[in-house]
Structure 1
Amino acid sequence: MTTEINQEQKEFLKLQLWKSTMRASISRAGEIYTPGTTAKKKSRFRVELLSFVTEMIRDHYETKTSDDQTHLENISKLKDFASGFGFVMLRFGHAQKILNLFLKYLWCLGYVQEPPHFPVDRLIQKRLRIQNFSNWTNEMEKEGYMKVIEEAKIVAKRENFRSIAALELSFYNDLW
Structure 2
Amino acid sequence: MKANLNNIKQNFLIEEIWLLTFGGAFQHSGIYKANTKEKERSYFRNMLKGYLEQIVLKKYKQPVSDEDHIENIIRISNYTASFKEVLKAPINIGISQKLLNLALKYYWCLGLLPEPPHFPVDRIIQQKIYKQPLVNWTQLNTIDMYMQIINDARVLAKQNNLSLAQWELENFLRR
Structure 1 residue 108 displacement after superposition:
0.2
Asked if 2 retains the 8 angstrom alpha-carbon contact of 1:134 and 1:140, the reply is no
Residue in 2 that maps onto 1:173: 173
Residue in 2 that maps onto 1:70: 68
Q: Which has the higher helix share?
A: 2
**Distance between the aligned counterparts of 2:5 and 2:118, measured in 1?**
27
For structure 2, list consecutive stretches of 5 or more residues without a partner in the other structure.
none
For structure 1, list consecutive stretches of 5 or more residues without a partner in the other structure.
none
Structure 1 residue 5 displacement after superposition:
6.5
Asked if 1 retains the 8 angstrom alpha-carbon contact of 2:140 and 2:146, the reply is no
**Distance between the aligned counterparts of 1:139 and 1:52, measured in 2?**
22
Q: Percent same amino acid at aligned positions?
A: 35
Residue in 2 that maps onto 1:18: 18
**Distance between the aligned counterparts of 2:132 and 2:34, measured in 1?**
35
Structure 1 residue 58 displacement after superposition:
1.6
Q: How do 1:1-176 and structure 2 match up within 5 A?
A: 6-30=6-30, 32-62=31-61, 64-86=62-84, 87-88=86-87, 89=89, 90-161=91-162, 163-175=163-175
* Structure 1 runs, 4 residues or longer, greater than 6 Å off: none
**Distance between the aligned counterparts of 1:7 and 1:34, measured in 2?**
37
Letter in 1 for 2:49: L
**Distance between the aligned counterparts of 1:110 and 1:92, measured in 2?**
27
Letter in 2 for 1:145: Y
Count of residues in Structure 1 that have an aligned counterpart in Structure 2:
171
Letter in 2 for 1:83: A
TM-score computed with the length of structure 2 as normaliser = 0.91
